Structures are given as C-alpha cells and as structure tokens.
Amino acid sequence: MSSFDLKKQVFSRDAFEKTINTTFTELTSSVVLPTSSNLPTVDEFFQYYTDLFYTIPKFGSENSHEYLVLTSQQYIGTISSDQEVIDALIAEVTELRQENLDLQQQIAQSSVATAEEALNKLREING
C-alpha cells in the first residue's frame, strides 16, 4: 500500500482574498464583481449618502430615495406603522368627502323643493 503526505495550506481572510481570484471571470468578461477591498465601509457609505443626499432624485425605480426606502422596507420585512396610519386617514377622508357630497345633494334637493313650494304659494296668491 502507498502512502501520501498531505499538506493543508490555510489562509486568513485577507490572504485568501489576495491569493484566490473570487471574481467569476470564467463565466463572463463583462461582469465585474466588487470585492470587499474596493467597497466603502458602512461609515463611508453613509458619508457618501449624506454628501449626495440632495442630488439623489426623490422618485424613480432605481437610484432614488424611493428605491432606497422600498428596498430597505423589503429587507427589514415591515412597513412603517406611519403608513398604516396614513392609509387609515386617507380612507377616512375619502368617506367624509362622500358624506359631504351626499349632504350637499340633500341640501340642494331640499332647497329646490322649498323654492318650488314658495313659487306655488305665490302663484296661488297672485292667482
């Protein structure tokens, strides 16, 4: 029976990233994946965000404040409780507007009926 000498080489995370190519260049040459060495730290990211805050569009399907809010909400898995309150208030306002419209129509119909009665009485008097 033969024997083999096995040698195990262990890398630290930093040494691994410097030694092993973790980009998928074999699959496609057009995709460049970021490595942790060229990503900003969380502190740097928020400093960039603060610096760029007013240049970021408010709305848009990507690269906007709206996009950041929606993707963050998906990530944390909740919708702000403020949104529930806003939705309830919008529903209440809609209901109150409909009630207001109904009351205005009743007032208008009542006014027309009252005016018709007054005209009929005047006609009777003037005969």
Cα gap 105→100, rounded to integer Å = 9
95 belongs to a structural domain: yes
Distance CA(75)–CA(122), nearest Å, equals 74
Q: What is the pLDDT of residues 66-113, one digit of tens each?
A: 999 888 888 887 666 677 888 889 999 999 999 999 999 999 999 999
Q: How far apart are CA 71 and CA 45, in angstroms?
A: 16
In a domain, 48, yes or no: no
Residue pair 27/35 in contact (Cβ under 8 Å)? The answer is no
| Residue 127 reports pLDDT greater than 90 | no
Distance of CA 62 to the CA centre of its chain: 11
Residue 109 is part of which domain span? 80-127
Rounded CA gap, 37 and 45, in Å?
Answer: 14
Judge whether 65 lies within some domain: no
What pLDDT digit, counting tens, does each position of 32-61 carry? 666 667 888 999 999 999 999 999 999 999
- List the single range of 17-26, 56-65, 118-127 with lowest mean pLDDT: 17-26
Give how many domains the chain has, as a whole number.
Answer: 1
Measured between alpha carbons, how far is residue 64 from residues 1, 4, 55, 89 in Å?
67, 59, 9, 27
Q: 5 in a domain, yes or no?
A: no
Q: pTM (2 decimals)?
A: 0.35
Q: Please indicate, yes or no, if residue 19 is contained in any of the structural domains.
A: no
Q: Is residue 75 part of a domain?
A: no
Is 68 within a domain?
Answer: no
In a domain, 85, yes or no: yes
For residue 84, give the nearest of 92, 94, 76 by alpha carbon: 92
